[in-house]
Amino acid sequence: VPISNIRNFCIMAHIDHGKSTLADKLLQLTGTVQSREMKEQFLDNMDLERERGITIKLQAARMRYMFKTKPYCLNLIDTPGHVDFSYEVSRSLAACEGALLVVDASQGVEAQTLANVYLALENNLEIIPVLNKIDLPGAEPDRVIKEIEEVIGLDCNNAILCSAKEGIGITEILNAIVERIPPPCDTAGSPLRALIFDSYYDPYRGVIVYFRVIDGTIKKGDKIYFMASKKDYFADEIGVLSPNQMQVEELYAGEVGYLSASIRSVADARVGDTITHHGRRAENSLPGYEEATPMVFCGLFPVDADQFPELRDALEKLQLNDAALKFEPEDSSAMGFGFRCGFLGLLHMEIVQERLEREYSLNLITTAPSVVYRVNCANGDIVNCSNPSLLPEPGQRRSIEEPFVKIEMLTPKEYIGSLMELAQERRGEFKEMKYITENRASIIYDLPLAEMVGDFFDQLKSRSKGYASMEYTFVGYKESELIKLDIQINGDRVEPLSTIVHKDKVILMGEEQISEKKLLSKLSTQLSGS
Ligand code: GDP
Ligand code: MG
């Protein structure tokens, strides 16, 4: 199809508002996927994702759609639904011209809805509001429309009412994609610039890169250059996702596709990198690229010391597919051999731990998660410390700073008090509280990231009977009264168990650490010989 008949879009939604169900219906109605090949929810194809109902990795699909007797090509780019992956979300949005904003008509605007909209606006996307689940008896589309208009300031005059489950309103959505989202700009004559919005490791073919051609064209066999990783490859295979991979010879500006080029690890084809031609390089890379910076660290030790080589192999395998996962060996006489690992956030950490235990049958002990502290040393040096056992001694340091996040909680008004208490208990600094509608409020705090690591989210959910939602963004470092908590056994310090804690929480943290059952049994076997 000509470029004027291409539309690139994504679907944004708070968890459970129906993104995957709607994506499936779009694929079905356009005949992209026959119902006999439909698994429940085609786009989420990792077990763990399905179980948790979240999308961790992005996927894409190309659909054909006839509108007023003309064929259109609609590229759907899926976005992960969790704040740990907001960089990945921002790169998929940058690959689109428009977005469907799906809101559950029986619920309303949630914190994640707001975060998504801000990202979409930053990327200048055309936003189409979609009210889902209108089949439910509790659906109140008019109330929710008012909420979207008031809270987000988005014009909802032509919001679409739909039921993804019952298949109501799907054609209207497809028509709106064609009519309201602008086509890509035709820059096929410029030097190649393609934006990587996802990549995954395939053990047989190497890394498969998903990209949007922003400028120029790319042909099978081209010698290409990745501008951030500074590496050259040959594009052995290029193709489109329909939604299964289908090879093509060439892709032009505005199109979405995949390539394989014998790339050995996803770290060499990072999300956000720009692909250009080796021979005819683009002058500037596309904006928005960021290195992955782990925010949360913990130690992982096998319960059975014999599993150490297996743990190393498993981490190496996971890393091929996960550029954000960092690890280095760590050992101590009490804990034996293990690894200190870095993650983007808590969910990322949990996913990796769970995959190690489930897919690689490892039985692991996890030490208390820690954040990266910034230490101002007496000699004027500034040291970043992600491993509490390496914290400079009190005499060598002047102060310790810790990372803070800004959290926004959205909640029905009856839970305001108990959520403010929660934030206060976690050393939160109150910033703002406002009613976004008559019955719902937004509460904003600055909170130490270290206090979010742990059960903050679970507490938020249980204190609000599941009704509150939250989002957070990193705001910067601030000095705090932090000290190091060591744990000794028979007078010997167990270094991997050292943590950095606020002076008011030392006793609490210490007791929590040493009451961990798996840890106690490990220590008693490890030390039984000595
Ligand atoms: P996601 O987390 O945004 O991907 O949400 P899902 O598509 O997984 O949907 C979450 C839940 O809502 C599932 O149980 C769906 O069956 C249900 N659901 C999705 N769309 C509708 C709808 O239009 N009506 C009703 N009644 N339920 C829906
Ligand atoms: Mg989903």
Q: Kindly report the protein residue whose alpha carbon is nearest to atom 9 of ligand 1.
A: 18
Q: For 336-353, what is each residue's pLDDT tens digit? A: 899 999 998 888 888 899
Q: Is the CB of 21 under 6 A from ligand 1?
A: yes
Which are the contacts of 123, defined by CB distance < 8 A and separation ≥ 6?
A: 90, 93, 94, 96
Q: What is the pLDDT of residue 91?
A: 92
Q: What is the pLDDT of residue 50?
A: 45
Q: Kindly report the protein residue whose alpha carbon is nearest to atom 25 of ligand 1.
A: 133
Q: What is the DSSP string of 53-78?
A: T---S--EEEEEEEETTEEEEEEEE-
Describe the strand order of the beta sheet including 160-161 as a list of residue ranges: 60-67, 70-77, 6-13, 98-104, 126-132, 160-161
pLDDT band at residue 10 using 50, 70 and 90 as cut-offs: very high
Question: Is 113 known as a binding-site position?
Answer: no
Compute the radius of gyration of the chain from its Cα atoms.
25
Q: 3-state SS of the chain: helix, strand, coil percent to 5?
A: 30, 35, 35
3 state SS of 526: helix
Tell me what percent of the residues of the chain surpass a pLDDT of 90: 59
Mean pLDDT for 425-436 is 94
Atom of ligand 1 nearest to the CA of 53: 2
pLDDT band at residue 56 using 50, 70 and 90 as cut-offs: very low
Cα atoms found within 13 Å of the Cα of residue 103, Cβ hemisphere only: 34
Contact, 186 vs 3, CB < 8 A? yes
Q: What is the pLDDT of residue 22?
A: 93
Mean pLDDT for 403-417 is 94
Contact, 397 vs 408, CB < 8 A? no
Is pLDDT above 70 for 209?
A: yes
* Mean pLDDT estimate for the chain: 89
Q: What is the pLDDT of residue 251?
A: 97
What distance in Å separates the CA atoms of residue 254 and residue 243, rounded to the nearest whole number? Answer: 18
Structure tokens at 314: 């498993």
What's the N-to-C CA distance of the chain in angstroms?
74
Cα atoms found within 13 Å of the Cα of residue 217, Cβ hemisphere only: 12
Least confident of 62-71, 108-117, 185-194, 206-215: 108-117
Tell me what percent of the residues of the chain surpass a pLDDT of 70: 94
Pick the closest to residue 241 from 255, 225, 221, 253 (CA basis): 255
What distance in Å separates the CA atoms of residue 288 and residue 94, rounded to the nearest whole number? Answer: 9
ipTM: 0.99
What distance in Å separates the CA atoms of residue 519 and residue 530, rounded to the nearest whole number? Answer: 17
Q: What is the pLDDT of residue 368?
A: 83
What distance in Å separates the CA atoms of residue 113 and residue 128, rounded to the nearest whole number? Answer: 13
Q: For 296-315, what is each residue's pLDDT tens digit? A: 999 999 999 899 999 999 99
Q: From its phi and psi, is residue 173 left (phi > 0), alpha (psi between -120 and 50) or beta?
A: alpha
Pick the closest to residue 371 from 474, 465, 460, 278 (CA basis): 474
Is pLDDT above 80 for 392?
A: yes
Q: For 462-477, what is each residue's pLDDT tens digit? A: 999 888 988 888 899 9
The alpha carbon of 21 and the centre of ligand 1 are apart by a number of angstroms equal to 6
Least confident of 121-125, 271-275, 324-328, 522-526: 522-526
Q: For 92-118, what is each residue's pLDDT tens digit? A: 999 999 999 999 999 999 888 888 888
Mean pLDDT for 399-420 is 95
Q: What is the pLDDT of residue 455?
A: 81
pLDDT band at residue 52 using 50, 70 and 90 as cut-offs: very low
Least confident of 44-48, 132-136, 157-161, 435-439: 44-48
- Of residues 195 and 16, which shows the higher confidence score? 195
Bridge partners, residue 499, by sequence: 485
pLDDT band at residue 83 using 50, 70 and 90 as cut-offs: low
How far is residue 439 from each of residues 16, 347, 434, measured CA to CA in Å? 21, 30, 11
Question: Is 267 known as a binding-site position?
Answer: no
The alpha carbon of 41 and the centre of ligand 2 are apart by a number of angstroms equal to 8
Name the packing angle between helices 456-463 and 416-425 (round to 10°).
160
Pairing of strands 256-260, 237-241: antiparallel
**Nearest ligand to the CA atom of 164:** 1
Q: What is the DSSP string of 113-141?
A: HHHHHHHHHHTT-EEEEEEE-TTSTT--H
Mean pLDDT for 427-450 is 93
Mean pLDDT for 121-142 is 96
Which are the contacts of 57, defined by CB distance < 8 A and separation ≥ 6?
A: 46, 49, 80, 198, 200
pLDDT band at residue 11 using 50, 70 and 90 as cut-offs: very high
Q: Indicate the burial class of 344 (C-beta count within 10 angstroms; 0-12, 13-18, 19 or more).
A: buried
Is pLDDT above 80 for 503?
A: yes
Least confident of 221-230, 274-283, 332-341: 332-341
Mean pLDDT for 489-507 is 85
Least confident of 51-60, 203-212, 421-430, 481-490: 51-60
Is pLDDT above 70 for 32?
A: yes
Is pLDDT above 50 for 217?
A: yes
- Of residues 143 and 244, which shows the higher confidence score? 143
Mutate which of 11, 103, 165, 168 for ligand 1? The one with the most ligand atoms within 8 Å of its CB, which is 165
3 state SS of 374: strand
Question: Is 491 known as a binding-site position?
Answer: no
Atom of ligand 1 nearest to the CA of 22: 7
Q: Is the CB of 18 under 6 A from ligand 1?
A: yes
Q: Any idea which residue has 């991979």 for tokens?
A: 245
- Of residues 218 and 487, which shows the higher confidence score? 218
What distance in Å separates the CA atoms of residue 137 and residue 104, rounded to the nearest whole number? Answer: 12
Residues with CB under 5 A from ligand 2 (ion): 20
Question: Is 236 known as a binding-site position?
Answer: no
Q: What is the pLDDT of residue 47?
A: 52
Contact, 442 vs 407, CB < 8 A? no
Q: Report which DSSP code applies to 407.
A: E
